[in-house]
Structure 1
Amino acid sequence: MDDQTLRDEEESLRQQIAQLSNQQKQYYYELETQRIKDPDTYAVLNYFFVTGLHHFYLGKNMQGAIDLIILALGILTIEYYGWVLIILISLYELPQLFRSQSIVHKYNNDMMRMTLAEVTHRPVF
């Protein structure tokens, strides 16, 4: 998704949130605070640690585990061309570093959509 589409989607979600009752808004923002991720943290985890920690940060545990295993195999077999695995995983992860803002923006929009659905389907007391 391009940046403009992500911004438009976020704006649409914000408009839907504005239509919630005060009680629903309060509950929504409590949940949102727990779920929204910081793009800079994602980028730092990707930049400094090719270990897949940035995948764990967004809850993509399987992808993070695969990255960790490949990196560990590369380190353990560094004398037997393990450096090739390290280079390959680095090349695979490099584009994600440059797209980190968009990746996290999409993730946050998805979390906003999920949280909005949860709040609107919750019984009001």
Structure 2
Amino acid sequence: MDDSSLREKEEALREAISSLSPDARKRYYQLEEQLVKDPDTYAVLNYFFAAGLHHFYLGKVIRGLINAILMLIGLITFAVGGWVLIVLVIVIELPQLFKSQKIVRKHNIDVMEGVIDELNREQS
């Protein structure tokens, strides 16, 4: 997803927030404070890609477990070629470090769109 489509989604999100009733808007901002993730925290956790912590941070438990298991297998079998598995995980995960701002921004937009949909259902 490119920056222009993220900006469009953010603008649509702002418009949807402004159309909420005052009580729903207050509830939205309370939920936003609880649910929005910090890109810097994601990036720091990504430095420890060996454990897949950044996936857990965004709620992607299965991907985090896969990452952690692959790295563990790579460490256990390091002497007999497990290092290849470790390098493979690093090659797959490294680009996410450089795209952490965009990844978390998209995640936050998606989560908050879900919150607005839920609030709109409650209002109906």
Question: Fold conserved (TM > 0.5)?
Answer: yes
Aligned counterparts of 2:46 and 2:112: Cα–Cα separation in 1: 23
Match of 2:19 in 1: 19
Aligned partners of 2:49 and 2:90 also within 8 Å = no
Match of 1:33 in 2: 33
Instruction: Give the aligned residue type for 1:31.
Output: L
Q: Secondary structure at the match of 1:37?
A: coil
- Residues 59-98 of structure 1 mapped to structure 2, 5 A cutoff: 59-98=59-98
Decide which moves more: 95-104 or 58-67.
Answer: 95-104
> Which string of whole-angstrom CA distances, capped at 9 and with x for unpartnered residues, describes residues 62-85 of structure 1?
000000000000111111111111
Larger relative contact order (C-alpha < 8 A, sep ≥ 6)? 1
> Which string of whole-angstrom CA distances, capped at 9 and with x for unpartnered residues, describes residues 76-108 of structure 1?
111111111111100010111111111111111
Match of 2:109 in 1: 109
Q: Secondary structure at the match of 1:59?
A: coil
Decide which moves more: 54-63 or 26-35.
Answer: 26-35
Q: Secondary structure at the match of 2:122?
A: coil
Aligned counterparts of 2:15 and 2:47: Cα–Cα separation in 1: 34
Q: Secondary structure at the match of 1:50?
A: coil
Alignment size in residue pairs = 124
Match of 1:45 in 2: 45
Aligned counterparts of 2:73 and 2:52: Cα–Cα separation in 1: 14
Aligned counterparts of 1:72 and 1:48: Cα–Cα separation in 2: 13
Aligned counterparts of 1:69 and 1:75: Cα–Cα separation in 2: 10
Aligned counterparts of 2:24 and 2:91: Cα–Cα separation in 1: 44
Q: Secondary structure at the match of 1:122?
A: helix
Structure 1 runs (4+) deviating above 3 angstroms are none
- Identity among equivalent pairs (%): 52
Structure 2 regions of 5+ residues with no counterpart?
Answer: none
Structure 1 regions of 5+ residues with no counterpart?
Answer: none
